[in-house]
Amino acid sequence: MAALEITEVRVRPFNRDDDKLKAFATITFNNCFVVSDLKVIKGQKGLFVAMPSKKRKDGKFKDVAHPLNNETRRMIEEKILSAYEKALEEDSEVVTEKESGAEEMLGTSSDIEPEL
């Protein structure tokens, strides 16, 4: 069984200072499985990554994809927050970071913290 690796991270930051939502992210695992609509959120304890979710009939949000353990959650959060910081430094709309270390600049294109 192959180890789970994040082989690509795409981050789309927003420049609105008053908004808790700071960016959307897409990650690729092992060059063959994509998870979209992860969110970089500014919470009371700093930035964190919220998993993709959908709104249920009762108005609550439910994750549609999420890690099953803290190690995987930390791996995802570290990669996405690193790409987000890099995107802010480079002042770009989208940053793609591939596992090989090569970076490609693409010019365009739940408000609750995770339970651990």
Locate the domains of the chain by residue range: 6-100
* Residue 36: pLDDT over 90: yes
* Residue 101: pLDDT over 50: no
Output 78 or 108, whichever has higher pLDDT.
Answer: 78
Interval 87-93 mean pLDDT:
76
For residue 15, the model assigns a pLDDT of 73
Interval 34-38 mean pLDDT:
95
Q: What stretches of the chain show up as alpha helix (H) in DSSP?
A: 70-90
Nearest to 42 by CA among 65, 63, 14, 11: 14
CA torsion sign for 80, 115, 35, 17 is negative
For residue 65, the model assigns a pLDDT of 93
Output 113 or 78, whichever has higher pLDDT.
Answer: 78
What would the two tokens of residue 116 be? 């651990």
Q: How far apart are CA 20 and CA 12, in angstroms?
A: 14
Q: Count CA within 13 A, CB hemisphere, residue 68.
A: 1
Give residue 3's pLDDT band: very low, low, confident or very high (50, 70, 90): confident
Nearest to 14 by CA among 26, 6, 22: 22
Residue range 6-100, CATH number: 3.30.1120.40
Q: How far apart are CA 9 and CA 34, in angstroms?
A: 10
